Chain A
Amino acid sequence: MMPIMRNYAGRLLPQCIALVIIVIAISIVFPGFLNLQIQNGRLYGSLIDILNRGAPVVLLAIGMTVVIATKGIDLSVGAVMAICGAVAASLITSGHSLAETLLATLAIGILCGIWNGVLVAFLDIQPIIATLVLMVAGRGIAQLITEGTILTFNEPGLIFIGSGSFIGLPMPIVIWLVFGLLVAVLVRRTALGMLIEAIGINRQASTLSGVLTPVLLVAAYVLSGLCAAIAGIIAAADIRGADANNAGLWLELDAILAVVVGGTSLLGGRFSIAASVLGAIIIQAINTGILLSGFPPEFNLIIKAAIIIFILVLQSPRFRTAFSFLSIPGAAGKPTEREAK
């Protein structure tokens, strides 16, 4: 067990270092950053904001990791978020119960995933094109559902998902923590994760050795759709309305970025859900840090890009080899990442 744990710590080390550096940098610019207090029976502070605001991208990144591990990509998640937010808002305003609304919304997310999965697994369309279809069409579908307006609702149950709290934590954080753990346990305590990696490394070889490739591929996209549905519900519940034009806009790119920052290769194969979640939190920490720093908004994207380039350089194999003389004992597990390719 110990070597596994150590290996794991080594795998997550670059992300952890990046996150710590960012947190320290923000607390220098904005001293109150690390303050936490209890307000209205829940934790309140900038750190909590990061975990809370990061919820949609964290959820999308969980699904995206598994899809990318199969050597795929899912560009449709932002649009699926918009569809699911719209479905949830329109069902709840037309008088359906909370349970019905949530189940139907999750089902729509799964349906979107099946659509993507079938295009990729059975019709052999390249994932980037297959999911582009729904990325483009999805926002239109969402606009049809909301009839182009921001569909607002006042149902306390649904609002609770966005801004309620459980044991002192905002609900979105609780949701992604639980869901992330469930998925991680599911893929790592069973052979699923290994089979997914096998598909990503060589789909044909996996099929020939008896892996049910098409089923697993569809399942990966279904998971991604489900994640997008949950993220969509959270985003809509947060603002008490479904904004078909803006919900999840460009978040597919943030999710892909989170996976990359997390160190999972876009070429498929080895993946780590925990690392992607860390990647998403890093991105949100940058966003929140920029907001707190008080720089004029014209600098937002430049600062974000500079920090992300820095993190990616930290992870680059060449950079690591060049600085290997500085290596820390805990980082012993790093080279295995390259072996996987």
Chain B
Amino acid sequence: MKLMKALASATILAACTFGSASAADLVVGFSQIGSESGWRAAETTMTKQQAEERGIDLKFADAQQKQENQIKAIRSFIAQGVNAILLAPVVATGWDEVLEEAKDAEIPVILLDRTVDASKDLYLTAVTSDLVHEGSVAGKWLVDTVAGKPCNVVELQGTTGSSPAIDRKKGFEQALSGNDNLKIVRSQTGDFTRTKGKEVMESFLKAEDGGKNICALYAHNDDMAVGAIQAIKEAGLKPGKDILVVSIDAVPDIFQAMAAGEANATVELTPNMAGPAFDALAAYLKDGKEPPKWIQTESKLYTQADDPMKVYEEKKGLGY
């Protein structure tokens, strides 16, 4: 009992000293999903960088892909009395109660990268990329590049049934519709991995007359494109020339391939979701300006003309 008391007072003391030390600054709690992918790791790095640039004291909690850990983290952020909470939700449902608690404590919550199935007044805003738009940026690049020439496209889909796979496919098809010169001749899942991307591309090449029938490859992520590029090379063709390669995500390795002329274009899924979030938060805290409920991040297109080696160097250190 004595120990408990001692502990409790120590915590209170710690909380007090902490509170006074950073009272001038903004304290923001960030509940991250985990580090299941390179992109996620880069998002964490970017968020920390953005917080540091703005002099924000960022409290980071890694949930290791568990919603219960995220809920615990949010409750502890509320208990610590942070100024705002960033949440990258691992699943879409089950957030109402804890978001309600944050709202009662008057702590604004900003969703990063994914959204939740909860009433819109439970969070300040959501900063996400538009997956359909990403697909259509890639599609539009291809339409412009082939400029009316007939072109057979093969598509490497993401994991079957996942929302990036569904939406990136949809956006690409939207961009292609009305251009009868472009035809998707084969479409298979490569599970977002290099190994499967390579294996599936090998089968595409065999099935389409050794690759002579294929004019372009569209991959739902860069990793599959990197695998497919190797398959194209091993089949004796030149990726980037014989077969155009366009993909999504903009991870560092695709820039190396672009510098070598083996990939043509990639659409960035920016890891900097926190920057727009912090900007919206600053405006909100300053004069209570409510941001829109959805802030769409830019889906920037990179091609070989964008000095891929320089981008590679910039992105390399982000933990992709």
Give chain A's interface residues, CB within 8 Å of chain B. 30, 32, 39-40, 44-46, 49, 53, 143, 147-150, 152, 163, 235, 238-241, 243, 245-247, 287-288, 291-292, 294, 296-298, 300
Contacts and interface: CB of A to CB of B under 8 A. Distances in A.
A239 B198 contact: yes
B253 interface: yes
B188 A150 contact: no
Interface in B25-74: 35-38, 41
Nearest to A32: B206
B66 to A, nearest CB: 14
B187 A49 contact: no
Contacts of B191: 246
A294 B207 CA distance: 9
Given A45-B206, A49-B203, A292-B203, A39 B236 contact: yes
A241 B202 CA distance: 18
B212 interface: no
Contacts of A45: 206
B214 interface: no
A247 B196 CA distance: 10
A53 B206 contact: no
A46 B203 contact: yes
Interface string B71-104: 0000000000000000000000000000000000
18 contacts: A39-B235, A148-B41, A149-B319, A150-B253, A163-B230, A163-B234, A238-B198, A239-B227, A240-B230, A241-B253, A243-B195, A246-B191, A287-B199, A291-B188, A291-B203, A291-B204, A291-B207, A298-B161
A235 B195 CA distance: 8
Q: Ordered nearest first, which 7 A-B pairs have the shortest CB separation?
A: A291-B203, A297-B189, A239-B194, A246-B193, A297-B160, A148-B35, A46-B206
A323 to B, nearest CB: 35
A298 B160 contact: yes
A149 B157 contact: no
A141 to B, nearest CB: 15
Nearest to A149: B38
A30 B188 CA distance: 16
Contact of A296 (B187, B234, B236): B187
Contacts of B194: 150, 239, 241, 243, 246
A120 B22 CA distance: 54
A241 to B, nearest CB: 7
A328 to B, nearest CB: 34
Interface string B296-307: 000000000000
A247 B193 CA distance: 9
Nearest to B227: A239
B188 A297 contact: yes
- Residue from A149, A238, A243 having most chain B Cβ neighbours under 10 A: A149
Q: Which interface residue of B41, B198, B207, B227 has the most chain A CB atoms within 10 A?
A: B207
B184 to A, nearest CB: 11
A293 B200 CA distance: 12
A291 B228 CA distance: 14
A121 B235 CA distance: 47
A46 B236 CA distance: 15
Given A32-B207, A39-B236, A150-B38, A291 B193 contact: no
Nearest to A39: B236
Contacts of A246: 191, 193-195
Contact of A152 (B202, B203, B206, B253): B253
B120 interface: no
Contacts of A40: 234, 236
B60 to A, nearest CB: 15
B186 interface: yes
A56 B158 CA distance: 22
Given A30-B207, A149-B320, A296-B187, A291 B200 contact: yes
A149 B194 CA distance: 13
Nearest to B209: A32
Contacts of A147: 319
B249 interface: no
Nearest to B234: A163
A245 B207 CA distance: 29
A265 B234 CA distance: 39
Nearest to B42: A149
A139 to B, nearest CB: 11
A288 B188 CA distance: 12
B223 interface: yes
B182 to A, nearest CB: 18
A189 to B, nearest CB: 35
Given A39-B236, A300-B160, A294 B195 contact: no
A34 to B, nearest CB: 11
A49 B319 contact: no
Contacts of A39: 235-236
A149 B41 contact: yes
Contacts of B189: 297, 300
A243 B202 CA distance: 20
Nearest to B207: A292
